[in-house]
Structure 1
Amino acid sequence: MIQVTIKKHGPSGKITSFTMEGHAEFAEYGKDLVCAAATAVSFGALNAILSLTEAKLQIEQGRNGGFLRCIVPENIPDGEQEKVQLLLEGMVVSLQTIERDYSKHININFH
């Protein structure tokens, strides 16, 4: 199962980091639609942030897949932070849509 942990800052509700780890095990490697969807959504969001904002995210990936962590620095200017948050919230909505249909293969937690 893919475990997604979204960390938010208390009062502001801003996403400060997210971690995805594990494998969906929906189908064999290379044919796993849940894994492909979660990967496309998360990497798409990160690529959009890196292309459309000046934010310097801290990104860590596992060598063999199955692990992705992104930490959003606190020192991003407000205008850029709004863009980053919008793109991350869009990612969360997309992941929740996957979770709704494939809850045996992906789980999202908020902290």
Structure 2
Amino acid sequence: MIKVTIYRKSNKKVYAFELSGHAESGPAGHDLVCAAVSAVSFGSVNAVIKLCEIEPIIDQGGEGGYLYVELPEQVAIQTRERAEWLLEGMIVSLDTIERDYGQYITISEK
């Protein structure tokens, strides 16, 4: 199962997320849930990097199955807000995947 943890500050703004585990909804290379989660999360991180021109703190597992991304602290307010909105969009997409494939993915917030 893929476990998604969304990290929010006390003001409810997202500042980081973590993905761990494997969906195992199909054979390796044909796992549609894994592919969807990967596309949504990596696409969102790439959008933050390109559109906001910031480098998030990224930690990836060598064999896959783990991704941690955190927005850097020292970012202009307007840039940070854009990055937060991009991550909120990612969360909406992940929520949709969880709704349809909840046996393979779970999302929690801290």
Tell me which interval the TM-score lies in, with the shorter structure as reference length.
over 0.9
Question: Quick one: which amino acid aligns to residue 8 of structure 2?
Answer: K
Cα RMSD (Å): 0.7
Distance in 2 (alpha carbons) for counterparts of 1:15 and 1:73: 12
TM-superposed deviation, 1:39:
0.1
Residue 73 of structure 1: aligned partner: 72
Q: Could you report, residue by residue, the CA deviation over 1:76-102 in whole angstroms, capped at 9, with x for unpaired residues?
A: 111101110110000000000000000
Read off the aligned partner of 1:85 and give its amino acid letter: E
Note if 1:15 corresponds to 2:10.
no
Question: Which blocks of at least 5 consecutive residues in structure 1 are unaligned?
Answer: none
TM-score relative to the length of structure 2: 0.97
Counterpart position of 1:92:
91
**Which residue of the partner structure matches residue 40 of structure 1?**
39
Structure 2 residue matching 1:52: 3-state secondary structure? helix
Match of 1:2 in 2: 2
TM-score (norm 1): 0.96
* Alignment correspondent of 1:109: 108
| Deviation sequence 1:9-61 (CA, Å, 0-9, x none) | 01x21112100000001001000000000000000000001011122200011
Match of 2:4, SS state, is strand
Aligned residues: 110
Identify unmatched segments of 5+ residues in structure 2: none
Q: Distance in 2 between matches of 1:62 and 1:56?
A: 18
Q: Give % identity.
A: 47
Partner of 1:27: 26
Runs of 4+ aligned structure 1 residues displaced above 6 Å come to none
**Quick check: 56-65 or 96-105, which moved more?**
56-65
Shift in Å, 1:73? 1.5
